[in-house]
Structure 1
Amino acid sequence: MSLQVEERGGNVRFRVKVQARARREEIAGVHGGALRVRVTAPPLEGRANRAVVELLAERLHLPQSSVKITSGERSPQKTIEVAGLGAAAVLERLRLEPE
């Protein structure tokens, strides 16, 4: 299944399923239309959230301020909003196929 992305107001939104306390930080594919992200940080005091934003910003070649968690701050399922890129560019930079 492909990553489901939504363009709205010049921003791109997509869902992420986060595994905290993983052995390594990586984008581990797509499952159920959501991007699977593994981070080594624990889900304490926002550390895993910061690690997710840092990893995605790095992969998307954007400043961290352009990647925001819009929902799910206290859940493994999150919605991410990216400013400054279109859906095709997000998919390309994450090396995912368009749906």
Structure 2
Amino acid sequence: MSKPELRITYCTQCNWLLRSAWMAAEVLTTFGLEIGAVILVPGTGDIFEISLDGELTWERRRDGGFPDVKALKQLVRDRIDPGRDLGHIDSHGKAG
């Protein structure tokens, strides 16, 4: 079974490369063994999209800005390893 691929498409005109690279590094740090690839795709026209295995999971205009690291890691986790505990990221606001 192949590992999932995360694709971040970012606007070069808006200088969102560093934000995208930082998000990619965070995903790879947390899911280094579970994810097959993180791909940065340069674009234009105010675009910022994150897709996982071809399914759009975050779109800046649709979802109201950029995801914070917590939201991004939870989106990835919920798709590739739903039972996984993300430690301190999951501890805030958890009923229990």
TM-score range, shorter chain: 0.3 to 0.5
TM-score, with length taken from structure 1: 0.33
Structure with a larger share of its residues in helix: 2
Higher Rg of the two aligned structures: 2
Structure with a larger share of its residues in strand: 1
